[in-house]
Structure 1
Amino acid sequence: MLRRAALGLLGCLSLTVVAPALSFAQDKKVTIRIASAFEQTTDMMQAAKRFADLVKERSQDNIEVKLFAGGQMGGEKDIVEALKLGELEMGVLGTYPIVSLTPKYSFFDAPFVFRDKEHVYKAWSGKLGDEVRDNFKKNHGIRAIGMMGRGYRHITSNTPINSVDDLKGMKIRMGQSKPFIDAFSATGAVVVPIALPELFTSLKLGVVSASDGPFDQIASFKLQEAQKYIALTGHLYATSLWLMNDRFYEGLSAKQKEVVNQAAKEALAYGDELAAASEKALGEKLQQAGMQFTKPDYAAFMAKAKPAADKLFSEQWSVTTADEIANIR
C-alpha cells in the first residue's frame, strides 16, 4: 500500500515537472513586433513593455516581443496600414484607428460626449465598442486587443473659468478637429485653429487666451509659463487602442492566445494605473508652478455643447445618438 502511494506521489511529481515543458513543445516560436508613434517613456509604452515581459515569461520564450517606439515604423497612419496588410503584428495607438477606419464612431474622440472615464469604458465594453471591434475585424483584418487610459483634457486660460458662461467670447486654440471646433463654438468661445507647435507663442502674443489639452501636453509645452488657470472640465477622456493583425492572432495556438490575452489584460490595467498616477503627479507639478485650478460644473458645458453634438450625431455619427450614449450606465 505504501509502495502504491509512493508511486502515485511520484507520478504526480513527474506530471508537475514535465507539464510546463510540454505546454509549448508543439508550438512554433513567433515574434510580435509592437510599433507606436509614442515615445518609450510614455505610460502607453511602459505598459507595452510590461506586456512584453509577461508574454516572454509565461510563454517560456516561445513568444518574443519587440518594441519599436517613437515612430520608428512611422506615424499612426503608417502603423494602421501595416496592421491591415499583415506587415506588422501589433500597434499601440491613440484613437486614430476609430476616426480613420470607423468614422461613424469617432464620437469616442470628441469632447462633451461622455461624462467621465467610467462612461467611456462602459460604452467601449458594450454594444458600441462591439460594433467598432467587429468593423475592425471584418473590414480591415484588425483585432482590438484592448484599451487603456491616457488622461482627461482640460482648459487653460488667462482668466479663471468658473462656469461655461466664462467661455463666451474667449479666444481658444483648437486643432483641426471638427467635433472640437463645433462643440467649443457652441459654448460661446471663439475658436482659432492653430498648430500645436505654435500654441505657446500664440498665447504669449495674445492671439488666443485659452487652450485645451491633457496635463502632459500642458506641461510639455510649458503652458504654465503662459497661462495662469486650468479649468478642470475633463471634457474628453483620451484613450489608447492596442491592435493586432487578426490573421496573425488566429494563427497562434490556443495556449499562445491565452498568454497574449491574459498578458494584455494585465498590462492594460497596469497602464491605467500608470496614467492615473501620472495625471495626479502632473497636476501637482502644474499647481506648484503657480497654475490655479477651478472646477466648473461639467454638466452645464455638456448642455451648451449638446446642439452641436446632436447635429454631428445626425450627420456623421448616425449609428447612435447623444441621448443613447447618455443612458449608458
Structure 2
Amino acid sequence: MNLIRKFATAAAMTALMTASALAQTVLKSSDTHPDGYPTVEGVKYFGELVKQRTNGRYSVEVYHSAQLGQEKDTIEQVRSGVIELNRVSMAPFNGTVKETIVPALPYLFRSEEHMHKVMDGAIGDQIKAAFEPAGLVVLAFYDAGARSFYNKTKPINSVADMKGLKFRVIQSDIFVDMVAALGANATPMPYGEVYSAIETGVIDGAENNFPSYDTAKHFEVAKNYSLDEHTILPEVFVMNKGAWDKLTPEDQAIFKQAATESVAKQRELWAAKVAESRKIVEAAGSQITTPEKQGFIDAMKPVYDKHVTDEVLKKMVADVQAVQ
C-alpha cells in the first residue's frame, strides 16, 4: 500500500507540475526598433509587471529589431491574432482608425508636454475606443518625440530648400501629402529599407526623431538634420482584442495598470535617449539646423483641408488645440 501511495503521490505531483506549466501563457510582442530602444524597454517593463502581478501566469516575449516583420506586417498579425501584442507607430492606422488622423497631423501639438496632456486625457480615451472595432485594444501611448527631416544633399533652412528632394515617409497618406505640400517628393517604404535607399540614391533622406536617426545609423548616410519638428506623433501599444477578452476582469485590471506604469518608464527612458542620440550624431559630424517654422506651418493648410473632413475630426482638432 505504501508503494501504491508513493506512486500516486508522484503521479499527482507530476500532474500538478504539468498543469502549472500549461497555466503560463506567453504573449508575443513585436517592435521594429533594436533591443534597448525606449519603446522596447517600455514593453519589457510592462511584461515584468504583468508576470509579477499574475504570479507568472502571463509573461511577455518581446521580438525587437523587426524579427516578426515590418510594421505593416505586424499590424495584420496582431489584428488576426497571430501575435498578441504590438508596439507600432500610429500613422499606419490612419486608413483603418480615422481618429488616428488627428495626432498624425503636422504641427498640431505645440510641444511634447502638450501631446502628453492630450493623449493622457479624454481625447486619448476617444482614440483608444476607436481601435476596438478594428479588433485591437490600446494599452498605452508611448513617446516618439518630434519628427524632423534629414537628407544627404543640403541643409534645410526654409521651405524653399525642400523643393525637389525625395524623402522616405511612413506608409501614411498624411505624410505623403505633407511632403508634397512642402514641394518635395514622398516615397513610402518600410523603415528597414531606408538606410540602403539613401545610400544608393533612391531617396535623398527621410524624417524621424533623433533616437531613430541614431540607432538606425541613418546619420551615416544623411548628415543634414533639420529641426523643423513637423510631427509629434505618439506610438501605440496594442493588444489583440480576442486575447484581451480572454482575460478575467482582474487580469485586465492588472494589464491596464502595468501599461500605465510602463508609460512613465518609457517617457523617462525616451528623454534620456533623445539627449544621448543627439550627442552621438553631432559627434559623428551631422549638421543640425533650426529652420524658421512658420513657412512650414503655413504650407499645411491643404493637408488639413484634405484629411480633416468630417465633424468628428474637426471637433477633435479643435479640442486638441484648446488643451493648455
Q: Structure 1 length normalisation: TM-score?
A: 0.75
CA–CA separation in structure 2 for the residues paired with 1:179 and 1:154: 15
**Are 1:112 and 1:183, in contact at CA under 8 Å, matched by a contact in 2?**
no
Q: Which residue of 2 aligns with 1:319?
A: 312
After superposition, what is the alpha-carbon deviation per residue over 1:258-313, rounded to whole angstroms, capped at 9, x for unaligned? 33222221122111211221121111111111122222233442222123222221
Q: 1:185 to 1:277 in 2, by over 3 A?
A: same
Q: 1:68 to 1:161 in 2, by over 3 A?
A: closer
Does the C-alpha gap of structure 1 residues 207 and 64 become closer, same or farther in structure 2, counting only changes over 3 Å? closer
Q: Which amino acid aligns with 2:308?
A: F
Q: Distance in 2 between matches of 1:183 and 1:288?
A: 30
CA distance in 2, matches of 1:72, 1:156: 26
Q: What's the CA shift for 1:141?
A: 3.9
In structure 2, the residue matched to 1:190 is: 184
SS at 1:115 equivalent: coil
Match for residue 25 of structure 2 among 31, 46, 49: 31
1:153 aligns with 2:141: no
Contact 2:101-2:307 within 8 A present in 1 as well: no
For the residue of structure 1 that corresponds to 2:36, the secondary structure is coil
Report the secondary structure of 2:157's partner residue. Answer: coil
- The reply on whether 1:286 has 2:277 as its aligned counterpart is no
User: What is the correspondence of 1:97-112 to structure 2 with a 5 Å cutoff?
Assistant: 98-112=93-107
Superposed displacement of residue 110, structure 1: 4.0
**1: CA distance, partners of 2:272 / 2:109:** 22
User: How do residues 62-141 of structure 1 correspond to structure 2 at under 5 angstroms?
Assistant: 63-70=57-64, 71=66, 73-77=68-72, 79-86=74-81, 88-95=83-90, 98-137=93-132, 139-141=133-135
> Aligned residue for 1:47?
42
How much does 1:153 deviate? 1.3
Matched, 1:59 2:57: no
Corresponding residue for 1:233?
228
Contact 2:143-2:235 at 8 Å conserved across structures: yes
Per mean C-alpha deviation after superposition, the further-off stretch among 239-248 and 199-208 is: 199-208
Gaps of 5+ in 2: 1-21
Distance 1:208 1:91, change over 3 A: closer
Alpha-carbon spacing, 1:223–1:260, altered in 2? closer, same or farther (3 Å): closer
Residue 165 of structure 2 corresponds to which residue in structure 1?
171
Q: CA RMSD in A?
A: 3.3
Residue identity in the other structure for 1:212: E
Tell me which residue corresponds to 2:269.
274
Distance 1:299 1:269, change over 3 A: farther
Q: Deviation digits for residues 66-122 of structure 1, max 9, x if unmatched?
A: 314045555545544454455544333322563243135323334333333233333
Instruction: Report if the CA contact (8 A) 2:42-2:262 is conserved.
Output: yes
Q: Secondary structure at the match of 1:151?
A: coil
- 8 Å CA contact 2:166–2:185 kept in 1: the answer is yes
2:29 maps to a residue whose letter is A
Deviation at residue 147 of structure 1 after TM alignment = 0.9
CA change 1:237–1:67 in 2 (3 A) is same
Tell me by how many angstroms 1:214 deviates.
2.2
Contact 2:135 2:241 in 1 (8 A): yes
Aligned counterparts of 1:172 and 1:166: Cα–Cα separation in 2: 12
Q: Secondary structure at the match of 2:156?
A: coil
Among residues 294, 297, 301, which one is paired with 2:292 in the alignment?
Answer: 297
Q: Which deviates more, 203-212 or 267-276?
A: 203-212
Matching of residue 244 in structure 1 with residue 239 in structure 2: yes
Unaligned 5+ runs, structure 1? 1-27
SS of equivalent to 1:319: helix
